[in-house]
Amino acid sequence: MCGIVGFTGSANAVPKIVKGLKVLEYRGYDSVGLAAQLNGEIKTLKCKGRVDALRDKLEQEHFPATDCAIGHTRWATHGGPSDINAHPHSTDTLALVHNGIIENYRELKAQLLEKGVKFVSETDSEVAAWVITEEYKAQKDPIKAIYSSLKKLSGSYAFEILFKDRPGEIFAVRQGSPLILATGVDGGYIASDMTALLPFTDTFCFLREGALAHVTKDSVQIVKEDGTLEEPVWQKTDMTVEAAEKCGYPHFMLKEIHEQPNAFLKTVSPRIKNGLPDFSGDGVSDDLLRRAKKIYIVACGSAMHAGLCGKYLIEHWAKIPVTVEIASEFRYNDPLIDSDTLMIIVSQSGETADSLAALRYGKEHGAFTMGIINVVGSSIAREADATLYTYAGPEIAVATTKGYCVQVAAFMLIAAKLSALCGTLSENEVRTLCSELCRDVPKAIEETFSLHDEIKEIAKKLYQSENLFYIGRGIDYALGVEGSLKLKEISYIHSEAYAAGELKHGTISLITEGTPVIAVATSARLYDKTVSNIRECSSRGANVLFICYNDAHQPENVADTVLRLPKVGRHAEMLAAMTAMQLIAYEVAVLRGCDIDRPRNLAKSVTVE
């Protein structure tokens, strides 16, 4: 949700800002801009559109070199996408970029209007710029001005600020939105995401909630409200620039689909010790898990869909009741939390505002909170009582694929661990399960890639559809919900996922001649029941694609098209089926000419509620 990046040092800041923004584009891409310190002035350039549009403008205008600049790529909240609403926002004193939302901007704007301030944009961010300006004029000290402004602002923010009369200095502060500090050979950096800085350095510091950073070409400091300094905690990353590049794939999404076998293994294998799941390295003791009498899984979007698989796996293997909640609803549903409640918050980015708010609510009410998080050092990871990191590496495509895969992987491990602790599976059964997971799942996903040509043909039959249904039972329903979201978000085809047996309670009225239906059956357990539901659809004219496990009995007799999953092993079919659905969504979106990695209206990390 908006990407921000700043640099000050001995090199030209402009190409660095453009490069950083290009990497950050997945966080928001409706408008873009930068502000640079130039001879005691701040020069700003911004426009509607993407980073390439800014790059063109910079060239056309022969934008001069500068040693200090900040940049922003936007996902619109207050005020539509336009040149005027693009960041940075400037006053007579400063320029500011903002990621987040200022909730009380209306009252603040009214007060400022009364004082005669003239606003040019419709954004909440411009209001913040003026609040800080007024404080700066009164206090003449940037750090005091920023801290006292924060007392007036409510909401979430990460700001980077240039003051006209403080050349070569960037001030930044965060509350609820991430900021990462970095040092390189040529100066200091600050960005909303580590990936933006990987081309320049491998040494980072996650700015803590509420902290203020002062970055100059010689130093990167964290300054407390009383003016004293806090020692930054520097960390080296082994993440490479290639991890944030396409490496020959036409889209990040396809690259990330192909990274799934490795990501799965990296997430699961280090947590299997002596053949059994072991979370001691994650700070999750067996005693803590044993206490869980009830589990809430709370997340948004695909992460919540991974949670639906988690519910199925935990209830099936460990027999502990699990409730899956949409994070934005959680706090308002009066959840029944006590000290025996384990709350699992699932988030690729670790920054999703609704999930973070739900986590805080759970903690306040006494739950033991555990994150399943991909981004190291992110807000949820830092605030949860414990975190199981998923090791997918940076996920750039807005539509998650490998991020979802490793979340399901984490749930497989958690379910196996809980069943060992609860004794619902014997130690030997858990050992077998763990070795099967490591051996079979990556192989199953890998072998699904060999169905890609078949999937391209399937996509040709689907891409002109206006509506489409996914059906399945049990875990296949959970998979269908995610398959449907993948298709919707990148191809813009309307689709719905239904529990296969539920369709006849109303929605079947939408099935007419030629309506495409994707049915999923990954195991024998519910196969016959699903087949009956397929027949209900085909007899009303539906055109059915049946994604089924390899040994399924005569699926050709029930569906128009059959995609048999590779024959690998139990528990491996679900992620093979998901890979097939990801590839279907991808190929359909390719045929429709969609912007696959940056679908309209979306952003990768949703840091507003």
* Range 11-30, binding ligand M6R (CB under 6 A): none
| Cβ 183 vs Cβ 201: under 8 Å | yes
Name beta bridge partners: 495: 468
Q: How far is the CB of 395 from ligand M6R (least distance, A)?
A: 9
Binding segment for ligand M6R (CB under 6 A), chosen from 57-65, 71-79, 285-293, 341-349, is: 341-349
Q: Which residue number places its CB atom closest to ligand M6R? A: 301
Q: Is 348 in the site for ligand M6R (CB under 6 A)?
A: yes
Q: Which of 44, 123, 347, 561 forms a contact with ligand M6R (CB under 6 A)?
A: 347
Q: Is 260 in the site for ligand M6R (CB under 6 A)?
A: no
| Cβ 145 vs Cβ 132: under 8 Å | yes
**Start-to-end Cα distance in the chain:** 11
Q: Looking at beta carbons only, is 214 or 402 nearer to ligand M6R?
A: 402
Distances (CA, A) of 464 to 213, 247, 481, 588: 51, 30, 21, 9
Q: How far is the CB of 66 from ligand M6R (least distance, A)?
A: 34
- Look at residue 166 and give its three-state secondary structure: coil
Residue 273 known to be catalytic: no
Q: What are phi and psi of 348, to 5 degrees?
A: -65, -55
**Count of residues that bind ligand M6R according to CB under 6 A:** 16
| Cβ 468 vs Cβ 494: under 8 Å | yes
Taking alpha carbons only, the member of 203, 169, 163 closest to residue 8 is 169
| Residue 164 one-letter amino acid | K
Q: Is 387 in the site for ligand M6R (CB under 6 A)?
A: no
**Catalytic, out of 2, 205, 309, 537:** 2
- Look at residue 554 and give its three-state secondary structure: coil
Return the CA Rg of the chain: 25
Rounded distance, CA 317 to CA 412, Å? 10
The site string for ligand M6R over 281-310 (x = CB under 6 A, - otherwise) reads -------------------xxxx-------
3-state secondary structure 56-77: HHHHHCCCCCCCEEEEEEECCC
Q: Looking at beta carbons only, is 400 or 533 nearer to ligand M6R?
A: 400
**Catalytic, out of 109, 486, 488, 604:** 604
Rounded distance, CA 307 to CA 344, Å? 9
Q: Looking at beta carbons only, is 355 or 491 nearer to ligand M6R?
A: 355
Q: Looking at beta carbons only, is 178 or 555 nearer to ligand M6R?
A: 178
* Range 483-522, binding ligand M6R (CB under 6 A): 485, 489
Rounded distance, CA 174 to CA 128, Å? 13
Binding segment for ligand M6R (CB under 6 A), chosen from 349-357, 500-508, 512-520, 536-544, is: 349-357
Residue 293 known to be catalytic: no
Q: How far is the CB of 403 from ligand M6R (least distance, A)?
A: 6
Q: Is 605 in the site for ligand M6R (CB under 6 A)?
A: yes
Q: Looking at beta carbons only, is 263 or 303 nearer to ligand M6R?
A: 303
Q: How far is the CB of 141 from ligand M6R (least distance, A)?
A: 37
Peptide bond preceding 142 in cis form (omega within 30 of 0): no
Catalytic residues: 2, 604
Binding residues vs ligand M6R (CB under 6 A) = 300-303, 347-349, 352, 355, 398-400, 485, 489, 605-606
